[in-house]
Chain A
Amino acid sequence: GDSVTQMEGPVTLSEEAFLTINCTYTATGYPSLFWYVQYPGEGLQLLLKATKADDKGSNKGFEATYRKETTSFHLEKGSVQVSDSAVYFCALTPPGDKLIFGTGTRLQVFP
């Protein structure tokens, strides 16, 4: 079945460091890919998405590119802030279907 694999956390960085959180997927067909973020004590918020191969999703300085050849959707940010500390979930879905989430990666950013 379809699945998402994320790198284990926590990822611990100093402010202004470069961030990469790896995400790879297994899917039949052509899924859409998402990154959701969960700040402490809050629900899930859509961070960015990409719906087809080579699309780049971006938001709030975060980027991820849909790579069909490597079945990946790695999340990157050039300079993280303390306020980026959260849990990041990679997810996929065929259009209109349920979301399948990865296990989540906790990011901790220190001043």
Chain B
Amino acid sequence: EPEVTQTPSHQVTQMGQEVILRCVPISNHLYFYWYRQILGQKVEFLVSFYNNEISEKSEIFDDQFSVERPDGSNFTLKIRSTKLEDSAMYFCASLAQTITDTQYFGPGTRLTVL
């Protein structure tokens, strides 16, 4: 069964450093998402991406964040200058088309900012 994959599974970085989290969505999917989950809290929407542009972003997704689909398979989340409060589990999700309604999630990348 096709699945969403994410790398790395765990990233440790120093405050102020740039990180890039990578996702490979399911191949025929058209909509892509990033969510995050701070430890012990609920899953929060960050950004959605369709047709090579951001379709919606939350207030969390400030100028330090960016997303890109550099080729036909990868979908990346970049945090330009990490802060301690960016430590969280980051989930990528993809969705085939609007009428199916089901987003499929990757296993997540745990980001630890020291």
In contact, A43 and B42 (Cβ under 8 angstroms): no
With an 8 Å Cβ cutoff, the count of chain A residues facing the other chain is 23
Q: CB within 8 Å of B: which of A74-111?
A: 89, 91, 93, 95-104
**Closest chain B residue to A99, Cβ basis:** B103
A49 to B103, CA, bound (A): 11
In contact, B106 and A93 (Cβ under 8 angstroms): no
Q: Is B67 an interface residue (CB 8 A)?
A: no
In contact, B106 and A43 (Cβ under 8 angstroms): yes
Residues of B in contact with A (beta carbons under 8 Å apart): 31, 33, 35, 41-45, 48, 56, 89, 91, 93, 95, 97-99, 101-108
In contact, B56 and A98 (Cβ under 8 angstroms): yes
In contact, A98 and B48 (Cβ under 8 angstroms): yes
A95 to B91, CA, bound (A): 20
Q: CB within 8 Å of B: which of A40-75?
A: 42-46, 49, 51
- Pick the residue among B98, B101, B102, B107 that contacts A43 (CB under 8 A): B107
Q: Contacts A95-B99, A96-B95 known; list 19 others, CB within 8 Å.
A: A42-B107, A43-B106, A43-B108, A44-B43, A45-B105, A51-B101, A95-B101, A96-B31, A96-B97, A96-B99, A97-B48, A98-B48, A98-B56, A99-B35, A99-B93, A101-B42, A101-B44, A103-B41, A103-B42
A44 to B90, CA, bound (A): 11
Q: CB within 8 Å of B: which of A5-26?
A: none
- Which residues on A sit within 8 Å (CB–CB) of B104? 46
- Which residues on B sit within 8 Å (CB–CB) of A44? 43, 91, 105, 108
